Structure 1
Amino acid sequence: MTQQAAVQQPNLLNGLDVQAAVETIGAIQEDESLARFQFRARNTWITGGVNLSSIKDFYGAGREDDSRSESFEFTNGEPPVLLGDNEGANPVEFLLHALAGCVTTTLVLHATARGITIEELSTELEGDLDVRGLLALDDGVSPGYERIRIGMKVKADCSDEQLADLIAFTQAHSPVCNTVCRPVPVEIVRMAN
């Protein structure tokens, strides 16, 4: 390998290009408008509790993103006890999936920024939900999760104190965790056919 080819190789830490991360942060510090993103999902009901979500386009870094040639497709279903046939994970399970993915990515991103190498990382999530709220059987029962627990197994090249600080920082800065932990206005509007 030539010296020039070696120079062009990205400096990776935890699978992330460190130089690209530094450049991205610098660009956002120079122009805060680049930090504004709008993510989108489209959903179509199929039958019963089955519906299909499609995710492709989004706005970010000052422009419409066209990097995805194909949509990501997700089938939402229900287990038989909730009148489905296990056509796919149900939406509250997808929420756990989104939360797990976001805290994982946030932890890796900030570990990389701190120069911490992650050797192993896994999470287990549990969410407690009382379906009486969904079924409108008791107005005193919330239809959403009552509590969510995230267990993280992390092996990294840092002290226990540094890891505890990183995990607390992750909880405070994960977009999905933050969205779940605070009230966020959600507006449902009828669209024209």
Structure 2
Amino acid sequence: MFIPKHYKQKNILKMETLQKTVNGFKSQDIMDTVGAIQSNPEIAKFKFRARNKWISGGHNRSTIQDFYGACREDETRKEPFVFDNSEPPILLGNNEGANPVEFILHGLAGCMTTTMMLHAAANGISVDHVESSLEGDLDVQGFLGLDETIRNGYQKIKVNFKIEGDLTEEEKQKLISFAYMSPVFDIVTNKVPVSLSLNA
């Protein structure tokens, strides 16, 4: 059977594109994941969990291991991730770990970066280097109950990205637009219903 040369070249090019790795993501993996979700939206529903125990003073410890996703409980993590939360001495702690509002900055930075790189890979945009710095303004009079007009959390968060690669200014701006799609960006910029309960 005769196969036209241009048809062969087109298929070879398609195969090479699917096998290509961009920003650490395989194009085939991205397409397979998107395709699976499009065929069964239930796959896209996740439940993430964290457990926490108080140790002493401002020191407490969180463990993260199991989660539900892709229609099943995940069993890939054999050991939990452990995060110590504390406060600096000026906030009555002993620096056993970063404080929780600093973890928010860590979560926001990590999520925006991952989101940016994933969407960049899906769009065929290769990036050499990305780093960010974050700063959050917080007035502790709020959570200490000293001034009801001051909110308990951050008043504002500033994020600065440094992006390097063979990129046009337009492509860099597109990468920034991808960061706005971050789940943690959504969490910190919109109200999320949080329910508290007490085990008897």
TM-score computed with the length of structure 1 as normaliser: 0.92
Cα displacement (A) at 1:11: 3.0
Alignment of 1:71-150 (within 5 A): 71-150=80-159
- Distance in 2 separating the partners of 1:86 and 1:102: 25
- Residue 26 of structure 1 aligns to a residue whose secondary structure is helix
Which has the greater radius of gyration? 2
Q: Distance in 1 between matches of 2:138 and 2:88?
A: 15
Per-residue displacement from partner, 1:129-188 (whole Å, max 9, x unpaired)? Answer: 0000010000111010000011000013331112212212321x1000011001111111
State which of 158, 174, 177 in structure 1 corresponds to 2:182: 174
Amino acid at match of 2:195: E
Distance 1:88 1:15 in 2: 30
Q: For residue 136 of structure 1, what is the amino acid of its counterpart? A: G
> Which residue of 178, 193, 196 corresponds with 1:188?
196
Give CA deviations for 1:7-63 in whole Å, capped at 9, x if unaligned: 9xx532111122111100100011000000000000000000000000000000110
Structure 1 gaps, min length 5: 1-6
Task: Return 14-23 or 68-77, whichever deviates more.
Answer: 14-23
Matched AA of 1:36: K
What percentage of aligned pairs have identical amino acids?
51
CA distance in structure 2 between the partners assigned to 1:139 and 1:93 by the alignment: 23
Are 1:116 and 1:156, in contact at CA under 8 Å, matched by a contact in 2? no
State the aligned residue count: 184
Q: Which runs of 4+ in 1 moved over 3 A?
A: none
Deviates more, 1:116-125 or 1:152-161: 152-161
Q: Deviations over 1:113-138 (max 9, x none)?
A: 11111101000000000000010000
For the aligned residue pairs, the C-alpha RMSD in angstroms reads 1.4
Unpaired runs of 5+ in structure 2?
1-15
What is the alpha-carbon distance in structure 2 between the residues aligned to residue 53 and residue 152 of structure 1?
A: 29
